């Protein structure tokens, strides 16, 4: 076969070359345009993603995410549970997830690995439902308390940079007032980027034990009751005085109420609403302690605190305490507080025969006035509730 024939058989015409070059350039231009316009990717399962969304930190472990539906007037309850479960399995490659419906209609999702969370955070649409996935505000972090004399001389920014490899995201030093000067104490509150704090923190040559952080009970600075804040207070238009529980009459922070004290929480007239000897305040501290140490919800902590109170009341109601029948974990207190009977002779009740009449009387409860009184309210809390804001 001649050489010219072989060349003609394998050759491409100039016009065909131009068409191929145009097609390649057009495909590249379309890809660049679609990338610039949006980061959303549509797949064959009617799921949309936004690849620009990222997690706040890449710490390995469990993550808690909130699935919120952005369609007006609709929540996650208004879509098929089977459809939602199938979509979540598709996003996470059939890995295990734990879901729970919240009162607001949103879905709380607990992931087992960081890879699942990275996949779910990009989800924006399931069929016709527009979805917004965000990290839970509090469940993905935790706080602990460390203390050492050497911490007084540490700079906050330097210490935070040093502790980043140990998953520390924030440090707050406790400040104390000495005279007219505010100085740093050796106590620090540490925020970690995971839901469980480590047992120890290494700071230079120090190995400090991390203690659990027990938050202050939630209190409203308008009505001074526990369990809600000012923003959600039903009595926002009628603020009360912290001391006398009447309509607010203090205009400045320097003023002090001189009327009879009255506690809005326990009803006592012996102290104001911010006194730390208040029985309701101690109960709220107990609830917060149970919530943190036993890792349960607030409602479950309330139930367990009530169980402890009911058990103590049942055991001591009949006047005698049997430690073997007590199921309260604080039964050691019951053993030392057994009520004893004593005989009192009342000479006014002598009968005609001259015999003495015996009366049985039990010991009275411990008077609150005999207990050591604690400090009432720090000045900073007084400033908060007298502030008009």
Cβ-based burial of 267 (10 A; exposed 0-12, middle 13-18, buried ≥19): exposed
- Residue 380: inside a domain: no
Among candidate residues 76, 105, 135, the one where a domain is terminated: 135
Buried b (16+ CB within 10 A) or exposed e, 175-199: eeeeeeeeeeebbbebbbbbbebbe
Helices 279-293 & 298-316, crossing angle to 10 degrees?
120
Tell me, yes or no, if the pTM score tops 0.75.
Answer: no
Q: Is residue 83 located within the same domain as residue 153?
A: no
Q: Is residue 156 located within the same domain as residue 96?
A: no
Contact 386/251 with Cβ under 8 angstroms? no
Q: Which structural domain range is residue 309 located in?
A: 285-369
- The predicted structure's pLDDT at residue 335: 43
Residue-wise pLDDT tens digits, 30-42: 555 554 444 554 4
Q: Is residue 102 located within the same domain as residue 168?
A: no
- The predicted structure's pLDDT at residue 211: 93
- Residue 268: inside a domain: no
Residues 6+ apart with CB under 8 A from 33: none
237/247 Cα distance (integer angstroms)? 10
DSSP string, 98-123: EEEE-TTS-EEEEESSHHHHHHHTTE
Mean pLDDT of the chain: 75
Q: Is residue 291 located within the same domain as residue 359?
A: yes
Q: Which residues of the chain have pLDDT under 70?
A: 1-12, 17, 21-23, 25-45, 309-389
114/60 Cα distance (integer angstroms)? 6
Residues 6+ apart with CB under 8 A from 370: none
Q: Is residue 305 located within the same domain as residue 355?
A: yes
Q: Is residue 130 located within the same domain as residue 153?
A: no
- The predicted structure's pLDDT at residue 310: 58
Q: Measured between alpha carbons, how far is residue 97 from residues 28, 62, 120, 134, 188 in Å?
A: 39, 10, 11, 16, 35
- Residue 232: inside a domain: no
Contact 217/285 with Cβ under 8 angstroms? yes
Q: Is residue 56 located within the same domain as residue 120?
A: yes
What CATH number is associated with residue 182?
3.30.70
Neighbours of 389 (CB within 10 A): 5
- Residue 14: inside a domain: no
280/222 Cα distance (integer angstroms)? 18
Tokens found for residue 253: 């922070």
- Residue 26: inside a domain: no
Q: Is residue 196 located within the same domain as residue 152?
A: yes
Contact 178/212 with Cβ under 8 angstroms? no
282/368 Cα distance (integer angstroms)? 14
- The predicted structure's pLDDT at residue 137: 85
Q: Looking at the 3D structure of the chain, how many domains does it have?
A: 3
- Residue 206: inside a domain: yes
Q: Is residue 53 located within the same domain as residue 119?
A: yes
- The predicted structure's pLDDT at residue 8: 52
Contact 118/172 with Cβ under 8 angstroms? no
- Residue 312: inside a domain: yes
- Residue 17: inside a domain: no
Contact 84/18 with Cβ under 8 angstroms? no
- The predicted structure's pLDDT at residue 354: 42
């Amino acid at each position: 076969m001649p050489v010219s024939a072989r060349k003609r058989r394998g050759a491409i015409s100039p016009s065909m070359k131009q068409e191929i070059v145009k097609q390649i350039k057009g495909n590249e231009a379309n890809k660049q345009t679609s990338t610039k316009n949006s980061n959303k990717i549509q797949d064959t399962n009617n799921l949309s993603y936004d690849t620009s969304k990222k997690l706040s930190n890449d710490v390995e472990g469990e993550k808690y995410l909130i699935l919120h539906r952005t369609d007006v007037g609709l929540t996650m309850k208004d879509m098929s549970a089977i459809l939602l479960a199938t979509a979540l399995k598709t996003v996470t490659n059939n890995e295990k997830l734990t879901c729970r419906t919240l009162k607001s209609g949103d879905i709380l999702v607990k992931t087992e690995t960081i890879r699942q969370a990275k996949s779910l955070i990009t989800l924006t649409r399931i069929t016709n439902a527009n979805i917004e996935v965000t990290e839970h505000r509090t469940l993905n972090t935790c706080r602990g308390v460390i203390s050492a004399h050497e911490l007084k001389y540490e700079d906050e920014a330097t210490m935070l940079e040093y502790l980043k490899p140990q998953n520390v995201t924030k440090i707050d030093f406790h400040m104390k007032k000495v005279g007219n000067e505010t100085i740093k104490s050796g106590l620090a509150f540490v925020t970690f980027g995971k839901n469980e704090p480590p047992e120890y923190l290494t700071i230079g040559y120090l190995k400090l034990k991390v203690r659990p952080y027990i938050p202050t009970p939630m209190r409203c600075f308008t009505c001074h009751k526990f369990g809600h804040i000012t923003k959600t207070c039903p009595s926002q238009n009628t603020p009360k005085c912290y001391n006398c529980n009447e309509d607010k009459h203090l205009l400045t922070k320097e003023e002090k109420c001189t009327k009879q004290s009255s506690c809005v929480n326990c009803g006592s007239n012996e102290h104001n609403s911010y006194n730390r000897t208040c029985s309701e305040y101690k109960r709220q501290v107990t609830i917060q302690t149970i919530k943190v140490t036993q890792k349960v919800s607030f409602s479950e902590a309330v139930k367990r605190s009530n169980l402890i109170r009911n058990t103590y009341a049942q055991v001591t109601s009949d006047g005698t305490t049997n430690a073997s029948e007590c199921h309260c974990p604080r039964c050691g207190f019951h053993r030392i507080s057994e009520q004893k009977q004593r005989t009192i002779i009342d000479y006014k009740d002598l009968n005609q025969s001259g015999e003495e009449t015996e009366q049985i009387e039990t010991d009275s409860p411990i008077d609150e006035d005999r207990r050591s009184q604690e400090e009432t309210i720090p000045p900073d809390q007084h400033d908060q509730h007298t502030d008009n804001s």
